[in-house]
Structure 1
Amino acid sequence: MHTHILFDFFGTLVRYDARRTSQGYPRSHAELVRLGATVSYADFVEGWDRTFAVFDRGSEPEDREFSMTQVGTAYLTEVLGRVPAAGDVDAFIRGYLAEWSAGVSYPEGVVALVRSLSRVYRLAVVTNTHQPDLVPGHLAAMGVLDAMDAVVTSVEVGRRKPHPAIYAEAVQRLGIEPGAAIFVGDTYTADFAGPEKFGMTAYLIDPAGVADVPGDRRLGSVLDLAAKVRASAR
């Protein structure tokens, strides 16, 4: 019997742009200038993307996660020509994330869905992210942080989905066996194949029907989940 639902966050409970420099970042660039950097805005965008790409490549073989602090320190060291103070890194990262988060939106109906499901299931979020307080902050802004029994982030675990360590951390925190959990997300490997291999029952948001998943586990959006789990429980 399923007693818990574990949600992916980005692309599942919220809409977002996965590109790291698709928003405008004038305040982030201004902070660089304040710290003494002489890079143009265009060079900032290119260099920030490049630094992230280096960390991404290093993480891929073993699904190791890195933090915004690590990326920020590496980038600021490059553009300033010195190791930045911890406070300077934090200020830059906070400013950048505030601008990046302007591209995150909360779809209509998601809050009502979460509230409805929380009356039947215990809920949690299991998400890949480089900043530990980013997702809890968005959940609080949505008004559903109190509905979550746990928020498990890859940066705190040190491994990103689909590494089994992050699913193991989630079930350990919740005090359940994997078979008691439903997992729902929008990325096949991280949110369907990984959880299924770990012993959970997964549902995939796949409106175009491109992934190789059973039809009764495919969602047009997360808003379809309630009907799907009701049907499976009959």
Structure 2
Amino acid sequence: MPGQSAPRRDTAVRGVILDFYGTLVRLVDPLPPSHRSLFLRRGLAEAADRWGDQWAVGPREGEQHAVHSTSERTYRAWELDRLRRRALACGVPEPAAGPLAADLDRAMKDLRLALFDDVPAALAALRARGLTVAVCSNWFWDLDRAVEDVGLAGLVDVAVTSARAGARKPHPLIYRTVLAECGLRPEQALFVGDMWEPDVAGPLAYGMRAVHLRRPDRVVAGAAPPLPDGAARIASLTALSALV
């Protein structure tokens, strides 16, 4: 395939670790309510203007939050407190900030997801070759439930979410966690995903090989970064089995 370079072959791949959203699943209708609509419902137009992009209000890429990931209860409390404090900073009155944060949290997690068409066959082919298949995602606490809900429970051996690992890709902690749960060394793993830093640059820096998935209908704006040693680029997961 043009633009593709072969991953290193010095050590056999024993496991494939895949990103979740944008790689295995996509959003489908009905979409969750916009954050702006939740502000406007309370007459908070000015605060809504200050709130900004609803997809950029969670933890940052690469953020470590292990102190908040000791339990589901602790993590969920931290999620709500982050939203409440941000709402206060945007001018939401104190009495409204808590209830608004709860509504925003529900909206962020009220996601209808569907598999990309190429996913079931691609994962089945990996499993048929005896490879460990894992999902590693910057996601909420219940990634395992999301994996099951979309019908992947029988095709995925390990699911690691940033919420439980205590750090978001590309922080090394989440890669260390997923590799440990898979029983793999970095050089035995191939990481696959659609985002450059969390799914390609981060895994490469940790010693894994990486595959940049660049679906033609979901290409991130701008030119794709040049492929470094140990990386490949594909347009569909159907091409994945040829790389392992």
Normalising by structure 1, what TM-score?
0.71
Q: How does 1:1-234 map to 2 (within 5 A)?
A: 1-16=12-27, 25=33, 29=37, 37-40=42-45, 45-49=48-52, 53=56, 59=60, 63-64=63-64, 68-75=79-86, 77=88, 79-82=92-95, 89-90=101-102, 92-98=104-110, 101-102=111-112, 104-119=113-128, 120-129=130-139, 131-133=140-142, 135-206=143-214, 210-213=224-227, 217-229=232-244
SS at match of 1:118: helix
Flag as ranges the 4+ runs of structure 1 deviating above 4 A.
26-33, 50-56, 75-78, 87-92
How far off its partner does 1:167 sit? 0.5
- Whether the aligned pair in 2 keeps the contact of 1:127 and 1:152 (CA below 8 Å) is yes
SS at match of 2:52: helix
SS at match of 1:218: strand
How far off its partner does 1:203 sit? 1.1
Letter in 2 for 1:183: F
How far off its partner does 1:157 sit? 2.2
Higher helix share: 1
Letter in 1 for 2:22: G
- How many residue pairs were aligned? 210
SS at match of 1:147: coil
Letter in 2 for 1:132: W
Letter in 1 for 2:105: I
- Output one character per residue of 1:87-129: Cα deviation in whole Å (capped at 9) or x when no partner: 885565224421xx24x44211312222232232111111112
- Output one character per residue of 1:38-88: Cα deviation in whole Å (capped at 9) or x when no partner: 325xx57534436875766xx46x633586434333245553423866x88
How far off its partner does 1:171 sit? 1.1
- Whether the aligned pair in 1 keeps the contact of 2:15 and 2:188 (CA below 8 Å) is yes
Letter in 2 for 1:38: G
Relative to structure 1, the CA distance from residue 51 to residue 202 in structure 2 (aligned partners, 3 Å threshold; closer, same or farther) is closer
SS at match of 1:46: helix
SS at match of 1:138: helix
Query: Which gives a bigger RCO, structure 1 or 2 (Cα 8 Å, sep 6+)?
Result: 2
How far off its partner does 1:6 sit? 0.4
Q: Percent identity of the aligned residues?
A: 26
State how far apart, in whole Å, the 2-side matches of 1:141 and 1:197 are. Answer: 32
Q: Which runs of 5+ in 2 are unaligned?
A: 1-11, 69-77, 217-222
Relative to structure 1, the CA distance from residue 52 to residue 113 in structure 2 (aligned partners, 3 Å threshold; closer, same or farther) is closer
RMSD: 3.5
State how far apart, in whole Å, the 2-side matches of 1:201 and 1:24 are. Answer: 35
State how far apart, in whole Å, the 1-side matches of 2:34 and 2:79 are. Answer: 19
Letter in 2 for 1:227: A
SS at match of 1:125: strand
Q: Which runs of 5+ in 1 are unaligned?
A: 18-22, 230-234
Letter in 1 for 2:203: P
State how far apart, in whole Å, the 2-side matches of 1:178 and 1:26 are. Answer: 39
State how far apart, in whole Å, the 2-side matches of 1:142 and 1:70 are. Answer: 29
How far off its partner does 1:4 sit? 0.9
Name 1:20's counterpart in structure 2.
none
State how far apart, in whole Å, the 2-side matches of 1:197 and 1:30 are. Answer: 40
